[in-house]
Chain A
Amino acid sequence: MLYVGYRYASGAYERDAARTAWAALEAHGAVATASALVASPAHTNYASGELVGRLLIPVVRLDEVIAEGVGDDELDAGPGHLPGSASPGEPGNAVISAHRDRHFHSLGRVGVGDTVITETRTLRTTWVITGRKIVGRYQPSLFPSTEPELTLTTCWPIRYVGPAPDRLILTAKPLRVLPRA
């Protein structure tokens, strides 16, 4: 119990720290200085642990800061951006994952047609969920894309005691992509 409490508490602390850091980035005009990246066709690469952006799902009142990486440490603090996948809003499949018992505990209530918003340092993208499926944990479910695409993943069933056997995959297409300036 002590270990579980420690993990949840440290995750909450790191989550707050990530929110504070992201707010500081926006407040200090880092967004404006990074707008030059909009013109660059290069794929944005993030260092492990680096803040990628913000994820908002209004229908379930989800508002989380995304960090780079899907390891245990990164996922303790918040949703993680899968390294090697596209940055949200850029061409390609952007994959964001999180634990079902923490930041994505309400993802099961998100369905096709719901709106998702992502904010990175350069782009603000409004997405619409176009696909929802349950797959086995080892089933191939991530595929590249030439167009901007967003994939949200978490374990399934949401309320499962033990290592969940399946994965919930939500895919979204962009409605609007706006540069942040």
Chain B
Amino acid sequence: MSSRYISLLLCAIATVATSAGAQFTAAVVPPKVKAQVDTTARQDSVRRATVALAARVTDMKRWVDSAAGVSIPKGDSTMTVKNSAAAVAPLMKDSVVMSRNARVRADSAASIETVEVHDSTGLRAPDSATVPPPTSSRNARGDTRRFASGAPAPATASLLPLLALAGVSTLLAGAALRR
């Protein structure tokens, strides 16, 4: 009697498990929907990265112009930053902190979208003592073999003294090892 009940019980359990498995199968989110969610998330991240890049480019341009003494037209609608220090937001750090108020505005002059950013990072303006002016950076590594206004001195650095010292040191070391 008890074995009969046990066998019935086992059959019932097996049946329930089978149906339960079917239920679980039906309850799992189809892969197609999950891929859509992942794609959307990926697109959003790409869009955010693009917007961040556009912001960096715009800020970089403004920083270079300001450092070069180019007057930035007032009422420039491309940037609406309030903080003057933030207007020349340095790109010392790799990450750009995007304000929650960032808007994307299509820029007809460039293929990338210009982002109006309210920079609240409080980053310092570049230190003029450490950052060379654009004019020197233009000629800094240019052709030093021809005279030009504002050019650096000709490259007369020579490695021969260093090579000579290395050679002499090697010879002395070899002579010492032979002893």
Contacts from A to B (Cβ < 8 Å) = 1, 3-4, 7-8, 69-71, 75, 80, 82-85, 93, 95, 97-102, 104, 135-144, 153-155, 160-164, 167, 169
Contacts and interface: CB of A to CB of B under 8 A. Distances in A.
27 contacts: A1-B170, A7-B160, A80-B154, A82-B146, A83-B147, A84-B147, A85-B147, A93-B147, A99-B158, A100-B156, A101-B158, A135-B153, A137-B157, A138-B141, A139-B152, A140-B139, A142-B149, A142-B150, A142-B153, A153-B153, A153-B154, A154-B156, A161-B162, A162-B159, A162-B161, A163-B162, A164-B157
A140 B152 contact: yes
Contacts, number: 106
Given A84-B148, A85-B147, A101-B160, A95 B154 contact: yes
Interface string B77-119: 0000000000000000000000000000000000000000000
Interface in B159-175: 159-165, 167-168, 170-171
Contact of A82 (B147, B149, B150, B168): B147
Contacts of A95: 147, 154
B153 A169 contact: yes
A99 B165 CA distance: 17
Q: Which 10 A-B pairs have the closest CB atoms?
A: A1-B167, A84-B147, A85-B147, A138-B140, A163-B157, A167-B153, A153-B153, A70-B154, A140-B150, A97-B154
Contacts of A141: 151-153
A83 B158 CA distance: 20
B159 A153 contact: no
Nearest to B140: A138
